[in-house]
Amino acid sequence: MAELSRIGLAGLAVMGQNLALNIAEKGFPISVYNRSPEKVDETVERAKLEGNLPVKGFHDAKEFVHSIQKPRVIILLIKAGPPVDKSIETLAAHMEEGDCIVDGGNEWYENTERRQEEAKKRGLLYLGMGVSGGEEGARNGPSLMPGGSYEAYKYIEDIILKVAAQVDSGPCVTYIGKGGSGNFVKMVHNGIEYGDMQLIAEAYDVLKSVGKLTNQELQEAFSSWNKGELCSFLIEITADIFGVQDDKGDGCLVDKVLDKTGMKGTGKWTVQQAAELSVAAPTIASSLDSRFLSGLKEERMEASKVFKSVDLGDGNVEVAKQTLIDDVRKALYASKICSYAQGMNLIRAKSAEKGWDLKLGELARIWKGGCIIRAVFLDRIKKAYDRNPHLASLLMDPEFAQEMIERQSAWRRVVTLAINAGISTPGMSASLAYFDSYRRDRLPANLVQAQRDYFGAHTYERIDMPGWFHTEWFKIAKQTKI
């Protein structure tokens, strides 16, 4: 009888293929399966070419399942939603009690929780595992966020500890928690990713449209930023992008890319969840709104004609380039801290609601490598939560607070400059407003409360005595009207 594989993987698109090869390369024989058989053959061929890796391909679901040693573990890397249910149906028919399914897609966490219940009825264990890092990460070391059955996690722990990205503080994987927590954490990771990308795009816009930096100067600025506090994957790839020439015409490719951002849904879910949980996440929300607005390309082109005659500045402001580059770096960094504070607070709120007991510092640790938001500064976030696991907000950590104080004037200069030049910086402005709202002991919410009580008798609290009060504002105002 042929030797059985240690694990199986179904769904051989880009991520699936690369993760399967990564697992095989770490010394775990793997069986692979895909609905369309060409992908299976392609993966087996790649395994041969990339060092005769122990990958066995199957065109038949039953043979695939039976080629895996018991208790069987099958990772699914399939488009989230109904296709996952379909694949589970096909594969589970051949699986046995104690076997385990691991969904590695960007799945909505409640779908995972439903499937966990359904799997339980069949005697199967189930994990929803966030996988971040794109094609390269999947092949050479992603950040992994498994949540659900702890028993299932233990089955695959030896594999995922080796497959994940390795950094100074260990492999970028940990057992996240029960239920759909792995998917939820990956969803917020993506929301933060949206925020980071938007903030970087705004930095680019200010430097290009106001500072008149060329693509080469932009590349130099981003490369130098990548040596300091902003050092991260997204800053690094941004610097690379400015250096890529158009292979179909003159100039840089980035200038030819249509300014319409696509999306698959995780950023939108993050904002919806923030609203559900009453957690302010304005930086992440502004990144989503910016994607929506970018989609209105034709409408924006018409609007630009309508408002052409209005002198909005449009970047015609004299600035010293190096000062601007330094200011924008500081504005980007301070905005980023606010965005991560929002994401972390969202995770904490969900954890409290669901009783997941998520460890924010540990999440920052597993994001240090492998994933799209990997960054040097995540180590500092981890340390902030190590110092105080009950930190109300990252902004309250003494080190981050000090950094915000040091950067706030540069940040205000950048936002003001952009506003005066007619260049929108929704992410940076939202972060700054978040900071300014958070740090003030008195907000104009007193007036909103008074208005609510005026027209709807919603009552209000007072600053000088306990209880709830209602005032006949209208009557009193009428008597005293001038």
User: Which residues sit at the interface with ligand 6PG, rule CB under 6 A?
Assistant: 106, 132-134, 190, 193, 262-264, 266-267, 371-372
Q: Which two structure tokens, joined as six digits, stand for 356?
A: 């997941």
CB of residue 292 to ligand 6PG, shortest distance in Å: 13
CB of residue 112 to ligand 6PG, shortest distance in Å: 15
For residues 466-480, b (16+ Cβ closer than 10 Å) or e, as one string?
Answer: eeeeeeeeeeeeeee
CB of residue 373 to ligand 6PG, shortest distance in Å: 8
Closest CA to 5 of 52, 88, 71: 71
User: From the candidates 186, 208, 336, 359, which is the catalytic residue?
Assistant: 186
Q: What share of the chain is helix, strand, coil (3-state, %, to 5)?
A: 55, 10, 35
Closer Cβ to ligand 6PG, 103 or 403, answer by number: 103
186 labelled catalytic: yes
Residue 454 gets the label, from left (phi > 0), alpha (psi -120 to 50) or beta, of alpha
Q: Regarding beta strands 170-171 and 73-76, do their DSSP bridges make them parallel or antiparallel, or are they unpaired?
A: unpaired
Bridge partners (DSSP) of residue 103 are 76, 128
Closer Cβ to ligand 6PG, 189 or 382, answer by number: 189
Closer Cβ to ligand 6PG, 79 or 413, answer by number: 79
Cα R_g (the chain), whole angstroms: 26
Other CB atoms closer than 10 Å to residue 195's CB: what's the count?
31
Q: Which two structure tokens, joined as six digits, stand for 436?
A: 């300014």
Closer Cβ to ligand 6PG, 264 or 470, answer by number: 264
CB of residue 426 to ligand 6PG, shortest distance in Å: 17
Owner of token pair 């929301």: 191
Q: Which two structure tokens, joined as six digits, stand for 73?
A: 């573990």
CB of residue 208 to ligand 6PG, shortest distance in Å: 22
Side chain identity, residue 368: K
Closest-by-Cβ residue to ligand 6PG is 132
Closer Cβ to ligand 6PG, 221 or 274, answer by number: 274
User: From the candidates 25, 107, 193, 202, which is the catalytic residue?
Assistant: 193
Q: What is the Cα–Cα distance from 339 to 283, expressed in whole angstroms? A: 6
Residues designated as active site: 186, 193
